[in-house]
């Protein structure tokens, strides 16, 4: 990542953190003075997941400063603000670390489950620490405040991370029909959400009927990424969440049930939105699985595939024995990285070493790398590296890459576009 792009990226994350924090501080519990939903948690977790690990310290310090200034300006004393900022940002970076450290290569479902479990458990620890400090300085209902803190952080993480990661997802090919269908579904979603959630207390619609009608926006929300694409789905979730939270905060809609205390309708709305966000995450995963299978079918049964395990420090290279293809069989005898590099052209050699270096520093590339492997002067194989991940191995950092054989036309087109 160039210095200019890095500085711009950090500035954008700080601006988003401040804007969402400013909004969250208005949605607070007047008794405990804890926000009922903490959107910056999702911004911070997304930032740590997207930004390379070498820049985590810089990002942490910048977000810490933004969080402290925001809290001092709007809420607490400097001492309490520093404590809360440390707890909040440590919570966010811990969630991202769990996902990066425990996720399995090419297993997106496992990564989502790790993200969800880490969010639930780490947020509980942060809530206990933060509320313990509040209890030392103010007279609060400890149990209720812990619950509010935990729920606010969990919902903010699940909701905003789903939106941000969906918007940052690799864009799908543009087709007018897809955008037309997605736009129409988005209009229906906004209209149905507005109709359901602007209903006043004691209105013509009964509570049971409103709960039934609240299922319609969820169905539309799930259909949008399937028919309109992932980015359209993320944008629609953002609009849907804004409508639900706004009207629930105004004491309108199906979640304002007589007898609930202040802020509890908003907590119910948060659970409703979190469930929708999780459904959307699983839709994203299923779509990617289907897309991978379709790509494999287009490539045909004779398609070559291989996966390598590289220890950069020692130069040792191993191949996945569970992948038994003609390509993997031909590469099985290559057990040193210098042997592999000798089979590449100077241009491809430089490019793949740059990818390895970036991956070792936490900048995992999400693009597809096309290159040629020359086994013999008469045997030149066009390949693409579709996935590269970094893992902690017994000898330190290790890299796992996945190769697929492609047609010559795809490689030549790629090279022409890069030129």
The answer regarding whether domain 305-405 maps to CATH 3.30.450.20 reads yes
pLDDT value of residue 226: 85
Residue given tokens 């991370």 in the structure block = 161
Give the phi and the psi of residue 254 in degrees, each rounded to 5: -70, -15
Q: Give domain limits for the chain.
A: 3-299, 305-405
pLDDT at 418: 37
Question: Does the predicted model carry a pTM greater than 0.75?
Answer: no
Average pLDDT per 10 consecutive residues for the chain, totaling 419 residues: 77 93 74 74 92 87 91 73 89 92 74 91 93 79 83 90 84 75 92 86 66 87 86 90 84 71 71 88 79 57 73 88 81 89 90 87 76 84 86 76 70 36
| Predicted pLDDT at 15 | 94
Residue 105, pLDDT score: 61
Query: Distances from the Cα of 42 to the Cαs of 24, 36, 89, 161, 348, in angstroms?
Result: 12, 14, 11, 5, 38
User: What tokens appear for 233 in the block?
Assistant: 């789905």
């Amino acid at each position: 990542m160039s210095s200019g792009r890095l500085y711009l990226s950090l500035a954008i994350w700080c601006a988003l953190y401040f804007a969402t924090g400013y909004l969250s501080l208005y949605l607070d519990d007047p008794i405990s003075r804890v926000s009922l939903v903490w959107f910056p948690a999702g911004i911070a977790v997304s930032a740590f997941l997207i930004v390379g690990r070498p820049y985590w310290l810089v990002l942490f310090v910048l977000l810490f400063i933004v969080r402290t200034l925001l809290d001092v300006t709007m809420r607490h004393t400097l001492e309490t603000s520093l404590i809360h900022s440390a707890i909040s940002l440590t919570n966010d970076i811990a969630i991202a670390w769990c996902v990066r450290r425990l996720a399995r290569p090419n297993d997106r479902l496992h990564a989502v489950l790790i993200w969800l479990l880490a969010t639930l458990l780490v947020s509980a620890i942060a809530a206990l620490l933060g509320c313990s400090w509040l209890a030392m300085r103010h007279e609060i209902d400890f149990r209720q405040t812990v619950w509010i803190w935990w729920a606010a952080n969990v919902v903010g993480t699940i909701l905003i991370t789903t939106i941000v990661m969906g918007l940052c997802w690799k864009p799908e090919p543009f087709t007018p029909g897809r955008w037309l269908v997605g736009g129409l579904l988005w209009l229906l979603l906004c209209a149905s959400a507005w109709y359901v959630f602007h209903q006043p207390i004691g209105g013509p619609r009964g509570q049971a009927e409103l709960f039934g009608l609240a299922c319609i926006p969820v169905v539309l929300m799930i259909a949008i990424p399937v028919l309109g694409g992932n980015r359209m789905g993320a944008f629609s979730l953002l609009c849907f969440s804004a409508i639900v939270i706004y009207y629930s905060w105004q004491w309108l809609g199906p979640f304002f049930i007589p007898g609930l205390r202040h802020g509890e309708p908003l907590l119910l709305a948060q659970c409703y939105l979190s469930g929708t966000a999780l459904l959307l995450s699983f839709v994203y995963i299923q779509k990617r699985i289907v897309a991978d299978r379709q790509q494999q079918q287009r490539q045909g049964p004779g398609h070559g595939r291989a996966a390598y395990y590289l220890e950069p420090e020692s130069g040792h290279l191993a191949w996945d024995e569970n992948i038994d293809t003609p390509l993997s069989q031909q590469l099985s005898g290559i057990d040193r990285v210098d042997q592999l590099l000798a089979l590449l052209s100077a241009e491809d050699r430089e490019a793949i070493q740059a990818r390895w270096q970036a991956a070792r520093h936490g900048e995992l590339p999400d693009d597809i790398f096309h290159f040629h492997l020359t086994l013999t002067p008469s045997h030149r194989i066009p390949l693409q590296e579709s996935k590269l991940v970094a893992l902690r191995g017994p000898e330190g950092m290790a890299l796992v890459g996945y190769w697929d054989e492609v047609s010559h036309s795809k490689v030549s087109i790629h090279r022409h576009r890069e030129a």
